[in-house]
Amino acid sequence: MPDAFTIDISDGIAVIRFDLPGEKVNKLTTGVVAELEQLIGRLESESGIDGAVIVSGKEDNFIAGADISEIETIVSPAEGARLSEQGQGVLERLEQLPFPVVAAINGACLGGGLELALACNYRLATDSPKTVLGLPETSLGIIPGFGGTQRLPRLVGIKEALRMITTGAKVYPKKAWRIGLVNDVAAKERLMEAAGRFISSHGETGKKTKKTSWKSRGLVALLFESNKFGRNFLFDKARQAVRRKVGDHYPAPFAAIDAIEDGFKHGLKEGFASEAHLLGEMAVTDTSKNLIKVFRLRERFSHVEKAPAGYISSVAVIGAGAMGGAIAALVAENGMKVRLVDMSTKALGKALRAVYSTVEKKKNKGIYSSTDAAWIPSRISCDTMMRGLKRTDVVIEAVVESMDVKRSVLADLAAATREDTIIVSNTSSLSISEMAGAVPDAWRVAGMHFFNPVDRMQLVEVVRGEKTSDLTVRIVTALTKRLGKMPIVVKDSPGFLVNRLLLPYLNEAARLLEDGVGVEPVDEAMLEFGMPMGAFILLDVVGLDIASHVCENLQQGFGERMRPSTILAAMRDEGRLGKKSGKGFYRYDKKGKRQSDSGLKKVLLPHVRDNLKLEEQSIIDRLILPMINEAALALEEAVVEGPEAVDAAMIFGAGFPAFTGGLLRYADSLGIPRVVKDLEKLTELHGERFKPSGLLIEMAQNAKSFYSL
């Protein structure tokens, strides 16, 4: 391969440019690390160099990290440790060069990229919103392995380093400067000029890297980080925080804490050795292998075909409620003009205030510059009437979830837009094909099911109606990607995919209550399984009115197996709508804090038919196996193309535990014969809703798995 690095020495400054051939982003492959070592050897012997600047040749990318493919193929702890030690050795030589080295960072500086930057004496970052720094290795089930667990806490302090490493959090330039991660922030166009000045102005201090002051770290650092008792307290608190958040399903954050602690207890050399050893151990865990598969899912479904030239330059959103306002804000934040239409000026005003508030918060966090923060709201124009839409490329309808209302709105939009304007409905369960009947050119109608909250949930289900054209699907998926979301194309079918799988899970939880299993045992079992929240906590968040409505729609589409538990309707009728009403399966105070509710027993009592006692695994099986079965039925009906789409949708849209690799990878790990056998047993005990699908039975008979179909 051509060289990844080029070097230009002028006026005593060596400019090292990293531009990995044939790749969109820079990665630290084994070959790149070997080439970097050769380059460092040349710099060690070169005379007349006063300083060096490392810069990227890629647009908006410094270094994305290590090569995931190489991590994926590690089969033994010893191999993982060896690769870590090699990288550590090369970066240690970089750190020991006899002149100051500056990392000039524009764009993503993540994982091994940040570890390389940490081995430099100084770091400069651009003020671009695309410039982010972080060590996200724990999201892949491993830990930083090129010295990150040792250098980062010594630069920014133990507390901040623990937060960054255990959560994989990304830091934007403003905060990076505030915590001492970067030494200065410059405009993108001035980055190299600033780097040259920085070397010149620090000529007297030379190799001495500026450390973060105790004052900038705060009183906590002064009290805790300067003595072993305080450090022990910080490490213990970090372990407690990780355990509260993810339980014991993700070993990598705990391993990272161990590596950091070893470095402070036994010195830097021992810390590097501990880091390499622990990386090797983490790289071969099932958790790491599954999380890398999830990373591949994100890559696959985030890469979509671009829209034809001329499309998606302008967007309109109809409906300024919570969802519509959030969608309009998302469009504006991603650089497009958006027209927000609602009959209510009050709703429009509320939506605009929410945009200003969100942008201001992101500006304060350093995500947006003052200029960006001013431009984003200016991209939104408001109106109380459907006018001026002839110039709009895509219109997203986000009104109330009622078929009659949506059909009426779509009919009005058909008249108010151009004949080639794409019309999209944001709906969680209503038929796109039925809606499209109100539009003469039904080929241009599709669905976009955004998940709530819009700004945080990655998934968008792109719904193809019976007459939706390939061009329309291409444009809508391209728009979804441009909004920073992950599109999964689904066939128009009741509940689409995520709700079709998730609502039976929630409905079965309610049926467990009918059998006398309590709220807390069910939620505790699902939290132990790895779900982000218990089934009843989730029902309270979704809202019992919404859950009941979707379950009723699913019953209309699929019959008796989707019959809602009577408890859901009873809760709704009692005004127990969940968190938004202050009470559901739990009671909530004014701050939204959850607590048990003794009054729930009175609502449930008429519906409880048994006093069943179930072990934790039995609860898990009864809730998860129906989701697997429903996923198999959805694949039979070609609702989505394959198991990868199911797993991506459930992880990024429903929070299914990523460490399992996804719902269907979890099914494969159980073994399909066991899944079928357990479903048959549940069918005998509880009825036909558990009857295994034809696909599952066929797979069990032919020793197939979802990922071998």
pLDDT value at position 203? 56
Does any domain span residue 132?
yes
Please state the three-class secondary structure of 550-610 as a single string.
HHHHHHHHHHHHHCCCHHHHHHHHCCCCEHHHCECCCEECCCCCEECCCCHHHHHHHHCCC
Give the three-state DSSP class for 127.
Answer: coil
- Tokens standing for 516? 């006398």
Side-chain-side CA neighbours of 469 within 13 Å: the count stands at 11
549 within 8 A of 401, measured Cβ to Cβ: yes
pLDDT tens for 390-408 read 999 999 999 999 999 999 9
* pTM for this model (two decimals): 0.92
703 pLDDT above the threshold of 90: yes
Residues that are catalytic:
461
Do the strands 184-186 and 5-10 form a parallel or antiparallel pair, or are they unpaired? unpaired
The span from the CA of 296 to the CA of 648, in Å, is 10
The span from the CA of 506 to the CA of 4, in Å, is 52
pLDDT value at position 224? 81
Number of C-beta neighbours around residue 417 at 10 A = 22
Q: Do 363 and 423 have their domain in common?
A: yes
Does any domain span residue 53?
yes
Q: Do 152 and 268 have their domain in common?
A: yes
Give the three-state DSSP class for 438.
Answer: coil
The span from the CA of 648 to the CA of 655, in Å, is 10
Q: Do 195 and 167 have their domain in common?
A: yes
Does any domain span residue 358?
yes
Q: 505: domain CATH number?
A: 1.10.1040.50
329-346: average pLDDT? 94
pLDDT value at position 16? 97
Q: Do 645 and 677 have their domain in common?
A: yes
637 within 8 A of 697, measured Cβ to Cβ: no
pLDDT value at position 575? 93
Name residues whose C-beta falls within 8 Å of residue 445's C-beta, 6 or more positions apart in sequence: 410, 423, 424, 425, 432, 435, 436, 439, 465, 467, 468, 472
pLDDT tens for 646-691 read 999 999 999 999 999 999 999 999 999 999 999 999 999 999 999 9
Name the E strands within 432-518.
445-450, 459-464, 486-491
Q: What single letter denotes the amino acid at residue 331? A: V
Does any domain span residue 166?
yes
- Quickly state the pLDDT bin for 522 (edges 50, 70, 90): very high
Number of C-beta neighbours around residue 155 at 10 A = 19
Do the strands 594-595 and 587-588 form a parallel or antiparallel pair, or are they unpaired? antiparallel
Q: Do 445 and 576 have their domain in common?
A: no
213 pLDDT above the threshold of 50: no
Q: Do 195 and 265 have their domain in common?
A: yes
pLDDT value at position 2? 64
The span from the CA of 691 to the CA of 513, in Å, is 21
Domain ranges, residue 47:
5-205+215-284
Name the E strands within 297-429.
314-318, 337-341, 380-383, 394-397, 422-425
The span from the CA of 512 to the CA of 685, in Å, is 13
Q: 87: domain CATH number?
A: 3.90.226.10
Q: With pLDDT > 90 as the criterion, what percentage of the chain qualifies? A: 83
The span from the CA of 397 to the CA of 404, in Å, is 13
The span from the CA of 599 to the CA of 611, in Å, is 19
pLDDT value at position 210? 47
Does any domain span residue 301?
no
Which of 235, 263, 284 delimits the end of a domain? 284
Q: 322: domain CATH number?
A: 3.40.50.720
* Dihedral pair phi/psi, residue 171, rounded to 5°: -120, 135
Name residues whose C-beta falls within 8 Å of residue 576's C-beta, 6 or more positions apart in sequence: 544, 583, 584, 585, 600, 603
Number of C-beta neighbours around residue 599 at 10 A = 11
Number of domains composing the chain? 3
Give the three-state DSSP class for 448.
Answer: strand
Which of 491, 508, 535 delimits the end of a domain? 491
Does any domain span residue 302?
no
Does any domain span residue 306?
no
Which of 232, 262, 284 delimits the end of a domain? 284
The span from the CA of 564 to the CA of 471, in Å, is 38
Q: Do 379 and 512 have their domain in common?
A: no
pLDDT value at position 111? 97
216 pLDDT above the threshold of 70: no
- Tokens standing for 19? 């531009």
pLDDT tens for 90-147 read 999 999 999 999 999 999 999 999 999 999 999 999 999 899 999 999 999 999 999 9
Q: With pLDDT > 70 as the criterion, what percentage of the chain qualifies? A: 96
91 within 8 A of 40, measured Cβ to Cβ: no
H or E element, residue 244: helix 228-246
538 within 8 A of 509, measured Cβ to Cβ: no
Cβ-based burial of 532 (10 A; exposed 0-12, middle 13-18, buried ≥19): middle
Q: Do 466 and 585 have their domain in common?
A: no
696 pLDDT above the threshold of 70: yes
Number of C-beta neighbours around residue 550 at 10 A = 26
Q: Do 54 and 81 have their domain in common?
A: yes
Q: Do 254 and 355 have their domain in common?
A: no
- Quickly state the pLDDT bin for 1 (edges 50, 70, 90): low
Q: What mean pLDDT, rounded, does the chain reach?
A: 93
Q: Do 137 and 180 have their domain in common?
A: yes
pLDDT value at position 512? 96
Q: Where are the alpha helices (DSSP H) in 595-671?
A: 600-604, 616-636, 643-654, 663-670
Torsion of CA 326, 187, 216, 199, to 10 degrees: 160
261-290: average pLDDT? 97
The span from the CA of 700 to the CA of 187, in Å, is 60
- Tokens standing for 631? 């996923």
32 pLDDT above the threshold of 60: yes
Cβ-based burial of 603 (10 A; exposed 0-12, middle 13-18, buried ≥19): middle
306-323: average pLDDT? 87
CA nearest neighbour of 315 among 391, 425, 406? 391
Does any domain span residue 17?
yes
Please tell me what DSSP assigns to residue 362: H
The span from the CA of 275 to the CA of 88, in Å, is 10
CA nearest neighbour of 534 among 424, 655, 639? 655
Do the strands 184-186 and 122-126 form a parallel or antiparallel pair, or are they unpaired? parallel
pLDDT tens for 106-120 read 999 999 999 999 999
The span from the CA of 281 to the CA of 275, in Å, is 10
Torsion of CA 168, 373, 334, 173, to 10 degrees: -30
The span from the CA of 643 to the CA of 666, in Å, is 11
pLDDT value at position 550? 87
pLDDT tens for 415-448 read 999 999 999 999 988 999 999 999 999 999 999 9
- Tokens standing for 366? 């350093």
Side-chain-side CA neighbours of 400 within 13 Å: the count stands at 6
pLDDT tens for 185-204 read 999 999 999 898 888 876 54
Q: Which sign, positive or negative, has the C-alpha torsion 62, 64, 67, 69?
A: negative
- Tokens standing for 453? 């909250």
Q: CA angle 162-365-66, nearest 5°?
A: 50
pLDDT tens for 52-102 read 999 999 999 999 999 999 999 999 999 999 999 999 999 999 999 999 999
pLDDT value at position 211? 46
287 within 8 A of 252, measured Cβ to Cβ: yes
What is the chain's alpha carbon radius of gyration, rounded to the nearest angstrom? 28
Q: CA angle 75-76-80, nearest 5°?
A: 95
Q: Do 482 and 563 have their domain in common?
A: no
- Largest Cα–Cα separation, the chain: 87
